[in-house]
Amino acid sequence: MFVPNVYGSVSGHYSGPFDRTQYYLYGGILLIPLAVLGCLQSGALGRVNAGGSRRLVRIRSPGGLYRLIAALPGFAKVRAPVHAWFVVALALALLAAAGGEGLSRRWRARWLAFALAGVTFCDLTFWNSLENQLAYARTSFENLYGRRGSQGAALVRPTLPEGTRFHASNGATVFGPMNGSFDERVEVTYGYNPLELKRYAEYFSAIAANPRLLPA
């Protein structure tokens, strides 16, 4: 949370645990100090809790916004643990805002709040956007995937019997992006996150665990 490039996520030379998106939590060099100051402000923690953050963090408890949203079609498939970080990030941002407000009142300097916001904006723009390899692709779609989508669809579509789907053991990128088959309108058994077909995923997972289930 203090060092944005601690695992090499920003530079692109990653050396941390698998799936770097789970381990990038940088929110600005001022976030934690201001959040600590915010905790010392009268009523700040109460306002954060009143907003539901304490309840939301307990995502395994009955009820709560997480379970409500997960009940909606597709949202239950967004399952990476780091997705719950938005709750903590929201709480820290609220506390940091309270800390900045407290400093402005104590020093009676209205410009201080704008200065803190400006430093944070520049800090996050540099580390979380301009330099961050995780924020967006650094090359064109054509360079990343080329014509694999249309070429793959042209090869598969004529050989696909009516009423069947093309199956790959994982989210193949033969059609370009992980969900490129949807763009090419080729019916497949796989997909990525919300677009994964649950029935097929369960079926092929069961076959992988017990090959005897595979029809003759």
Q: How far apart are CA 23 and CA 11, in angstroms?
A: 14
Q: What is the pLDDT of residue 81?
A: 67
Strand, helix or coil at 116?
A: helix
Q: How far apart are CA 66 and CA 55, in angstroms?
A: 10
Contact, 123 vs 129, CB < 8 A?
no
| Spans of all domains in the chain | 20-130, 141-213
Q: How far apart are CA 68 and CA 47, in angstroms?
A: 22
Q: What is the pLDDT of residue 102?
A: 87
Q: What is the pLDDT of residue 115?
A: 93
Q: How far apart are CA 57 and CA 105, in angstroms?
A: 30
Q: What is the pLDDT of residue 215?
A: 66
Q: What is the pLDDT of residue 121?
A: 96
Average pLDDT, 10 consecutive residues per value, the chain (216 residues): 86 82 88 91 66 49 64 69 78 89 86 92 94 84 83 89 82 75 85 74 77 69
Q: How far apart are CA 72 and CA 69, in angstroms?
A: 5
Q: What is the pLDDT of residue 51?
A: 55
